Amino acid sequence: MNIKDQVVSLWLAKELKEAGVNSPSLFNLSRQGVSLRKVEEELPPSPLTFLYLYGESIIMKLTKTIVLKLREGEGEGKSDLEDTINAFTEGMNYASEIVYRHNKPISSVTLQKLSYRYLRDGIGLKSQMACNVCRQVSGAYRSLKEKIKVKKAEWKLLTFAPTNVTFSYGRDFTINSDVLSITTLRGRKKYQIANYRYAEQFFDGSWKYLASKLVKHKDGHYYFHLTCEKEIEEPDITKVSNFMGVDVGMNHLVVVTTTDKKNRFFRGGDVKNVRNIYKKQRERLQKKGTRSAKRVLKHLSGREKRLIRNINHVVSKEVVEFAKENGVGVIGMEDLTEIRERTRVRRKQRYRHNSWAFRQLQTFIEYKAKEAGIKVVYVAPKYTSLTCPRCKHISRNNRKGREFRCGVCGYELNADLVGARNIEERTRAFRHDLEAQGCVVNQPDENSLEESLKPANLLVGN
């Protein structure tokens, strides 16, 4: 157990017991399937604040996936990749049938005992490939079980298409800036990489390589999706003086505001225009229904998604640049999990609502912020756009369209900016909670874990 895990265990073991929670630590809670929201309901304020701020990590882990095109050539080199992908997929479908017949998810260890011999002798997979097959299939069925719990899916046989293979670094793949060495059905093979300037930074020795995938894209070429991880120092929230609230939406893609009231609106019209153009194009082509129309529909497939992804990349970069320019140490965003299930919209707005790529945008902001050494926290989204920033009055009548006017104190502002200010205030409240409780949370060392969590001395004078 690392230092961070020990710190969380020490704090929670004491406070959970006082709060009447049977589990002695956060780790047992997670094993029993207790959600973070359940922990919030049970814990008193002090450990809850600690959990939000320091429960995830003291050292932030930045994870990125880099797409590298392989110069696989023609003939044997290309057929090796094709045969390996097909055999890997055959193994996954075989393992999937075993899990399906059990009528419940099984662990990768159990699945490996049941399928390993056939994967090796019957299909011809290498040993590490067989292990990766079991892990991937077991994980897929665990994800299915989670969807079944919330009634989003039913138990079914999962089938896999021959599009990718998972490799483990150091076991069946190694890589440098020029050459990828991977294990195929015919042994170890080396392939040249079509490297590019942005990707060169991931070969400087500071990144740790994780399990990665060889993927066959729709253009027929093979790409290696290299997953990298890097540890970076997390800023001390008790020393941060400038926070930033980020409100994502559809009218304005992003609205941000800082503690010192510096605001900025980021475009939303471009996304709506792109969505509307492609929606009308699809409707016309689907209504036509001819063979040529279907060809055009296939050609358009994915183009809209790529355009939206590019816009989200550009906007997220601008958001983080704005934060850096204004000395922001912590960015707050709303936790919009299951927002589509929790909200209702008019029939005409359903397409825009269901195609809203808010999570992708938040993910881009989060990892770009981590790269810049800025901490990201998620706050409860309840009433952020209906609460008056001045008098805290909450009412649906406060907001009419894009305008906000408090029914009690008369405060007026753009509704999206009101949301961003409330998010910033909730983010800033974390630090104020620590100060009010007199909790000094320092970077712990191995010799004195409990010492770092001692209450501060609040007595004044002799």
Q: Fill in the amino acid letter for 53.
A: L
Q: Which segment, 198-212, 304-318, 351-365, 431-445, is predicted with the most confidence on average?
A: 198-212
* Listed range (31-35, 59-63, 246-250) with the worst mean pLDDT: 31-35
| Beta-carbon contacts of residue 389 (< 8 Å; ≥ 6 apart) | 411, 413, 418, 421, 422, 425
Give helix 291-300 / helix 269-288 axis angle, nearest 10°: 160
Give the model's confidence band at 48: pLDDT under 50 very low, under 70 low, under 90 confident, else very high.
very low
* Listed range (117-121, 269-273, 354-358, 441-445) with the worst mean pLDDT: 441-445
pLDDT greater than 90 at residue 31: no
314 vs 361: CA distance, rounded Å: 10
- Whether the CB-CB separation of 267 and 252 falls below 8 Å is answered with yes
* Rounded-to-5 percentages of helix, strand, coil across the chain: 50, 20, 30
Give the model's confidence band at 43: pLDDT under 50 very low, under 70 low, under 90 confident, else very high.
very low
The pLDDT, as a whole number, for residue 257 is 93
The pLDDT, as a whole number, for residue 222 is 93
- What pLDDT digit, counting tens, does each position of 99-127 carry? 999 999 999 999 999 999 999 999 999 99
What are the domain boundaries of the chain?
Answer: 1-58, 65-231, 237-437
Given CA atoms 192, 194, 195, 199 in this order, what sign does their dihedral have? negative
Q: Going by DSSP bridges, is the β-strand pair 222-233/173-175 parallel, antiparallel, or unpaired?
A: unpaired
Q: Which segment, 180-194, 304-318, 434-448, is predicted with the most confidence on average?
A: 180-194
Q: HSE, CB side, 13 Å, CA atoms: give it for residue 195.
A: 15
The pLDDT, as a whole number, for residue 461 is 40
pLDDT greater than 50 at residue 40: no
Give the model's confidence band at 162: pLDDT under 50 very low, under 70 low, under 90 confident, else very high.
very high
The pLDDT, as a whole number, for residue 76 is 58
* Listed range (64-68, 157-161, 260-264, 454-458) with the worst mean pLDDT: 454-458
The pLDDT, as a whole number, for residue 453 is 41
SS (H, E, C) 154-207: CCCCCCCCCCEEEECECCCEEECCCEEEEEECCEEEEEEEECCHHHHHHHCCCC
- Global pTM reads 0.74
The pLDDT, as a whole number, for residue 358 is 81
**Residue 231: in which H helix or E strand, if any?**
strand 222-233
CATH code for the structural domain at 237-437: 3.30.420.140
- What pLDDT digit, counting tens, does each position of 373-401 carry? 898 888 888 888 889 998 989 988 988 88
Q: Which of 296, 269, 268 is nearest to 283 (CA)?
A: 296
Q: What percent of the chain has pLDDT over 70?
A: 75
pLDDT greater than 90 at residue 338: no
| Beta-carbon contacts of residue 277 (< 8 Å; ≥ 6 apart) | none
Q: How many C-beta atoms lie closer than 10 Å to residue 109's C-beta?
A: 11
SS3 at position 346: coil
List Cβ<8 Å contacts ≥24 apart for 110-116: 111/137, 111/138, 115/91
